[in-house]
Structure 1
Amino acid sequence: MRIERSTGVEHLGTVRIHGVRRVLELDSGARTLTALKESVEAQKIERDSIDVILPKLAIVLPTKNEDLKVFEGVLSGVPHDCMMIVVSNSQRGEIDRFISEQEILSHFCNATKRNALIIHQKDPYLGKALAEAGYTEILDEDGLVRSGKSEGMVIGILLALLQGKEYVGFIDTDNYIPGAVWEYAQHYAIGFSLTDSPYAMVRILWHYKPKISGELYFKRWGRVSEITNKYLNHLLSTKGKFETEIIKTANAGEHAISLSLAMKLTYATGYGVETQEVMSIFEQFGMLPITEKTATEKGIDIIQTETINPHLHEEKGEEHLLQDLLMPSLSVIYHNPSCEEETKQLIAKQLVELECIKPDEAVPAQRMIPPPETANVERFTSILEKHLVDYAVPKGWSLWTRLPLLARKAETKKVVFTDLDGTLLHPVSYSYAAALDSLRELQKAGIPIVFCSAKTRLEQQVYREELGIKAPFIVENGAAIVIPKDYFHLPFSFSRTLDDYYIIELGIPYQQVRDKLKSLPDKCQAKITCFGDLSIEDLAKLTGLNLRMAALAHQREYSETLAIQGDKKQIRSALNSLKEIGLSYTFGGKFWEAYQGGDKSKTTKILIELFRLNFGDIAAIGIGDSENDEPMLAAVDMPILVQRADNRWKKLKVQNLQLVKGVGPEGWS
């Protein structure tokens, strides 16, 4: 396919809203051996780029009592490599439209050698599974899924997740043109191929929306879309200094979302769902604070494309347009926390003029459905699994061989990050004996134990071998992560290899730190002793380590340990001097660490992400004793602080910090 090049981008926080890009050619030909120079106006999307996306894309087809011939035509337009998920809320009973839909889908899949899912919104087992998963906001008083388009879309999202898909697209089943359905799926694939972000949404602008009024009239814009776009753009304009009209797809029923993003969005019930998706993105990722790391690094892309095929569907009347479509769409803008007073007043005035509300009447709020990620997916899976044979088309194909790890696991995996000196190791004796029983229980349960310490790689190796610990470890206060080569099965970036380890380095080499320390100003009045300047014997005396461990502590690779003596003013002056020469520092309770580039928080987060990529969702637990551990404790899900040698806890600024009694390993246990 060929598509127009980018027509501009608006930014809101980490959100990038791309201008509409028009498709110029549905088939741009096979890849040529010699690349042809493209026009400056056009970008060619190769077939193989589209073909990579389509098998990862589930197409959700919400339907309710649609014409069965039209429904069959929609099926024929969905690309062969996309999985179809039909979510029906059609009539049951003596005249059972749902059974007819099942029969049509079954015949189609048998004839075309395809697999699909079809489920009724009021299926009692579906309601039970959602209730058990704690996702009751989607259920009615009878314990069944409420009637509504957005409820059907959320069901489609959950089923796409359980089938291991990466993207989910939505296509209405009242579309009279199968070629348009095919084109929509191509647009979805093109959009996702144009972004590197795992958080992306592709929204389609119809080239024409024909109406039948004695003759076929090709109308350029829908009335509801014009109005909703107007106020969504007005809201966006208030967030910057320039007016914008970049949003053209506020009511795009045909759209697709990456599963990573779809699981995080809040959905509105009724026909305000498409507008609410955009508002949820603005609210979560367009305003501070933004807590999602990947969103901060990669951003969120809202990609808009314009079709060649017109969109021809059944007309449902003016009252349907205003009350069922426009009112909910403007309501979700009006009631969103990001909407300021000026936009609210304009929306209320518009609704009064259209007689949607009375002059003294408040704009009604829409019911919201929380993000699907708040549901217990494992519980949902376990309940629904035995009934999936009833949803599979053709009967008997093996759905659950495709389940992702997230939906298979029995429980969230735990990982323990622990400091050594003063935490797992006693602050005086350096013994871990008091924590040994608890440590063995963790190992028996298969819970990884990650050392995160100021100690050197060689020092930590001794304790890892003594305790039989195989997990990766963080050395010299976050200067580097050391990962056994056979530990993670998925590839990742690393700085170098050493023996049987991959090493991810954040800190500069030790010798560069030493060179910087030589430039400390002579005016520094505090006495500063560098470990690198001491003999092994003197180091053992200063630290209380035995000669073997003192020798290993001497072999630093990224940081220098300092003993700083003086009064408070002199010590503060010495620390300021370290900053002046470009070094950072932390205090471990006895000694200071000088380094550049190391970061306990960042290395902890990197390891957490590697654990999640390889083992699914995890709960990270962190245990420490001093301010040196604060970055690590702030990065985990459950931070724990043990008492120091004086039986007190260090005051740290860490949210949800749990204080446990016991000095070092006694508290650790």
Structure 2
Amino acid sequence: MTIEPSRKRRLLIYTDLDGTLLDHDSYDTSATASLRQQLKQLGVPVVWNTSKTAAELESLRLSLEHTDPYIVENGAALYFPDESTQQPKMTFGPGHDHIMTCLEGVRRQFRFKGFHDMSVAEVAAATGLDEGDAALAKQRQFSEPLTWQDSPGKMSDFLAAMADCGLHVLRGGRFVHILGEFNKATPMAWLNDYYATQWDATVDTVALGDSQNDIAMLQAADRAYLIRSPAHVTPQINGQANIRIAKGYGPEGWAEAMAAEVDALMTPQTPPDDAIKTSLPG
């Protein structure tokens, strides 16, 4: 039986995957299983908002029984669950061919290596994926992850060169991502309006992420949770009262945050659990 949540608000969740819903090293997500099931029973969509490709998500969505919309390649495209991964509902930037043309134009000026340049085995080694998943990760449609092999001082010149091409550089947990003038927050406005119309209600948004490339998504949400990572320092986001830091790492932090949200949803007069820290670093 489906549990009927309070009608005073309709909750919509946006979540990063690697290092947030999925463990940074093992990609395990078992710690989130019961909360994901509760959210499904409550009719709360959990929108994946990831740097992964649509091809990478096909088997993962089946294994985790994910049936909500999903956003790929750092905000590049929005997919609905009943549509082909080759036909996104909406796209928000240029295609991969344009990005590669721009990168080829500056290859003699800077040292870097992108997924396009790597073998499947090299992508697997860089990401921790098995070779089957690494092959899917190479199927970029709207962005190009790369490892920066030049000096930090040359990054500003690289940023300017990409800007001249109408592109920008986004730093994630493992890679530098080259993409169009969009970010993980870009599709959120469209999808928020979609659900507000479908539900005839005000949409209350929550976002969860762990990396620099999640900041725009976190800032765009009504409430957001920074998830701690064992692999990198928690990003600095100053002056944002809507952003909390979960105590747990990866999926454990995700489950902690979502437990507070589910409790608040079931008893709307109660704010999310005080156990979630509300202070930010820096």
Q: What is the letter of the counterpart of residue 215 of structure 2? A: E
Any residues of structure 2 matched to 1:62-73 within 5 Å, and which?
Answer: none
Q: Hey, which bits of structure 1, 4+ residues long, moved more than 6 A? A: none
How has the CA–CA distance of structure 1 residues 429 and 575 changed in structure 2, closer, same or farther, with 3 Å as cutoff? farther
Q: What is the letter of the counterpart of residue 101 of structure 2? A: D
Distance 2:231 2:101 in 1: 36
- 1:548 aligns to what SS in structure 2? helix
Structure showing greater Rg: 1
Q: Give TM-score scaled by structure 2 length.
A: 0.81
Q: Which residue of 1 aligns with 2:208?
A: 623
Q: Alignment partner for residue 179 of structure 2, among 566, 582, 595? A: 595
Q: CA deviation at 1:579?
A: 2.5
- 1:458 aligns to what SS in structure 2? helix
Assess if the C-alpha contact under 8 Å between 2:77 and 2:88 holds in 1: no
Q: CA deviation at 1:602?
A: 1.8
Distance 1:576 1:429 in 2: 36
Any residues of structure 2 matched to 1:456-605 within 5 Å, and which?
Answer: 456-485=53-82, 498=84, 502-520=88-106, 522-524=108-110, 527-605=111-189
Q: Which residue of 2 aligns with 1:611?
A: 195
Distance 2:233 2:220 in 1: 23
1:447 and 2:44 aligned:
yes
Q: What is the letter of the counterpart of residue 453 of structure 1? A: T
Q: What is the letter of the counterpart of residue 606 of structure 1? A: W
Assess if the C-alpha contact under 8 Å between 2:55 and 2:85 holds in 1: no
How has the CA–CA distance of structure 1 residues 413 and 539 changed in structure 2, closer, same or farther, with 3 Å as cutoff? same
Distance 1:635 1:428 in 2: 28
Q: CA deviation at 1:501?
A: 5.9
- 1:507 aligns to what SS in structure 2? coil
Structure 1, unmatched stretches of 5+, are: 1-408, 486-496
Q: Give the aligned length.
A: 248
- 2:169 aligns to what SS in structure 1? strand
Q: What is the letter of the counterpart of residue 510 of structure 1? A: H
Q: Alignment partner for residue 7 of structure 2, among 410, 419, 422? A: 410
Assess if the C-alpha contact under 8 Å between 1:484 and 1:502 holds in 2: no
Assess if the C-alpha contact under 8 Å between 1:480 and 1:598 holds in 2: no
Q: Which residue of 1 aligns with 2:251?
A: 665
Distance 1:651 1:581 in 2: 28
Distance 1:429 1:593 in 2: 22
Distance 1:521 1:580 in 2: 15
Distance 1:612 1:447 in 2: 13
How has the CA–CA distance of structure 1 residues 505 and 626 changed in structure 2, closer, same or farther, with 3 Å as cutoff? same
Distance 1:583 1:648 in 2: 26
Q: CA deviation at 1:586?
A: 0.7
Distance 1:516 1:435 in 2: 40
How has the CA–CA distance of structure 1 residues 521 and 481 changed in structure 2, closer, same or farther, with 3 Å as cutoff? same
- 1:619 aligns to what SS in structure 2? strand
Distance 1:655 1:470 in 2: 31
Any residues of structure 2 matched to 1:340-351 within 5 Å, and which?
Answer: none
Assess if the C-alpha contact under 8 Å between 2:173 and 2:232 holds in 1: no
Over residues 535-565 of structure 1, what are the superposed CA-to-partner deviations in whole Å (9 max), with x where a residue is unaligned? Answer: 1111111211111110110101111111112
Over residues 215-240 of structure 1, what are the superposed CA-to-partner deviations in whole Å (9 max), with x where a residue is unaligned? Answer: xxxxxxxxxxxxxxxxxxxxxxxxxx
Q: CA deviation at 1:647?
A: 7.6
- 2:226 aligns to what SS in structure 1? strand
- 1:552 aligns to what SS in structure 2? helix
Q: Percent identity?
A: 30
Over residues 173-231 of structure 1, what are the superposed CA-to-partner deviations in whole Å (9 max), with x where a residue is unaligned? Answer: xxxxxxxxxxxxxxxxxxxxxxxxxxxxxxxxxxxxxxxxxxxxxxxxxxxxxxxxxxx
How has the CA–CA distance of structure 1 residues 536 and 502 changed in structure 2, closer, same or farther, with 3 Å as cutoff? closer
Assess if the C-alpha contact under 8 Å between 1:627 and 1:652 holds in 2: no
How has the CA–CA distance of structure 1 residues 574 and 457 changed in structure 2, closer, same or farther, with 3 Å as cutoff? same
Distance 2:32 2:101 in 1: 39
Q: Which residue of 1 aligns with 2:3?
A: none
Q: CA deviation at 1:614?
A: 0.4
Q: CA deviation at 1:415?
A: 1.2
Structure 2, unmatched stretches of 5+, are: 1-5, 256-282
Any residues of structure 2 matched to 1:326-475 within 5 Å, and which?
Answer: 410-475=7-72
1:649 and 2:234 aligned:
yes
- 2:121 aligns to what SS in structure 1? helix
How has the CA–CA distance of structure 1 residues 602 and 645 changed in structure 2, closer, same or farther, with 3 Å as cutoff? same
Q: Which residue of 2 aligns with 1:396?
A: none
Higher relative contact order (CA 8 A, sep 6+): 2
1:638 and 2:223 aligned:
yes
Distance 2:247 2:11 in 1: 22
- 2:74 aligns to what SS in structure 1? coil
Distance 1:503 1:454 in 2: 17
Any residues of structure 2 matched to 1:299-318 within 5 Å, and which?
Answer: none
Q: CA deviation at 1:531?
A: 0.2
Q: CA deviation at 1:458?
A: 1.2
Distance 1:664 1:483 in 2: 26
Over residues 151-194 of structure 1, what are the superposed CA-to-partner deviations in whole Å (9 max), with x where a residue is unaligned? Answer: xxxxxxxxxxxxxxxxxxxxxxxxxxxxxxxxxxxxxxxxxxxx
Distance 1:528 1:589 in 2: 17
Distance 1:476 1:627 in 2: 14
Over residues 333-386 of structure 1, what are the superposed CA-to-partner deviations in whole Å (9 max), with x where a residue is unaligned? Answer: xxxxxxxxxxxxxxxxxxxxxxxxxxxxxxxxxxxxxxxxxxxxxxxxxxxxxx
Assess if the C-alpha contact under 8 Å between 2:71 and 2:79 holds in 1: yes
